[in-house]
Amino acid sequence: MEENHYFALLITDPEELFSMLRENQFSVVLIDCASLSYYGVRIISKIKVVCAHSRIIVFCNKLHLCDSHHRTIIKEIMAIGVYACIIAPYEAWEVLSLVAYESHREK
């Protein structure tokens, strides 16, 4: 993504994430659905409180579509206001189009 002038920060600790979001308002937050399973759906609400104007994009595993628990998680996060869910396997252009669209909207 760097070749498209987008720089990613990889953060695995929620408190570190919240601290980073408080210090810097990011337009897009990318999160893996495994994080939702591990930390719970409330992590999305916390991100939205700390960084109210960010758009949250969740990466989901295609296998989870057959799992009613994960389908419920996806339904809950969409109700909370996640910008998009991308189902794997996904191509780089799919992610870039969502990020680029959001970046152009802000200008």
pLDDT at 107 > cutoff 50: no
* CATH number for the domain harbouring residue 45: 3.40.50.2300
pLDDT at 21 > cutoff 80: yes
Q: Are 56 and 31 in contact (CB under 8 A)?
A: yes
Give the range of the structural domain holding residue 34, as residue numbers without chain letter: 2-106
Domain total of the chain: 1
Q: Rounded CA gap, 54 and 27, in Å?
A: 4
pLDDT at 90 > cutoff 80: yes
Q: Are 9 and 31 in contact (CB under 8 A)?
A: no
Query: What predicted TM-score, i.e. pTM, was given to this entire model?
Result: 0.81
Interior angle at CA 18, CA 12 and CA 24, nearest 5: 110
Instruction: Say which residue the tokens 């969502």 belong to.
Output: 98
